[in-house]
Amino acid sequence: MKDTQKGFWPVRNMELTQRQKHFFSYLKEKIAAEGQAPSLRQAAADMEVSHTAVAQMIQQLEKKGLVERDGHYSRTIRLRHPEQMEEEPGGARRLPVIGQITAGLPMYAQQEWEGSVVVDGSRFRGDNLFCLRIRGESMRGAGILDGDLVICEPRQYAENGEIVAALINGEEATVKRFFLKSDHVEMHPENPAYEVRRYPFRELLVQGKVVGVIRDRVESGTAEGKRS
């Protein structure tokens, strides 16, 4: 769940000033909208502070594990969701759930966090893992059913035959088995009722590899996780 202040992610087990929270939210929105972090000059102008103040805030967030940089002067900044770093009893870890993604006809990929789910940390060890809610039956043959959560490892490439989450035309999202051809990409369902879909390279962007599935058990209020 989000913090009560719009745009802020929840931060537990760490202390952030209101200014740092605001800056972290600003970075999240800029990266989501533009695909990269703003320059120091742009951030300073938007935040109405000095370049030095922006650099200091980045360093502070980096020390607290909320951002990662390729180098000290690199503009490439990756944000880490605070819930991903939260430790649970018994070696469990908490992963964020990001909107919904279809396993049938593509639907709009929402960029809102919809809470989180606890998984076995010994089985799911990757960095920045996230979950997506499935809508549709096209991946039934792979054991991915309507309403399931798939656990994804962030990635912008795929090997033939891997099940991936991909964006179509920058808006629609789908989960299918990936196959690279000479002049296009094919996304294969695991249900004979659905057709193979073909896309030009420019229309498809891999967002992550599916590494596990969580099936909610409504009657018990627990979730069962397994590797894909």
**105-142 pLDDT, tens digit each:** 665 454 456 777 888 888 887 777 888 889 899 999 99
Distance CA 30, CA 25 (A): 9
Identify the helix (H) or strand (E) that includes residue 68. strand 67-69
Contacts of 57 (CB under 8 A, 6+ apart): 19, 20, 23
Q: Has 209 been annotated as catalytic?
A: no
Rg, Å, the chain Cα set: 19
Task: Using the predicted structure, report yes or no on whether residue 73 has a pLDDT greater than 60.
Answer: no
Q: Has 63 been annotated as catalytic?
A: no
- Domains assigned to the chain: 18-80 (1.10.10.10), 88-227 (2.10.109.10)
- From 171, 176, 155, 178, select the one nearest 203 (Cα to Cα): 171
Segment 9-32 mean pLDDT: 70
- Catalytic hit among 116, 138, 181, 182: 138
Distance CA 81, CA 21 (A): 12
What is the pTM for the complete model shown? 0.58
- Catalytic hit among 122, 176, 209, 226: 176
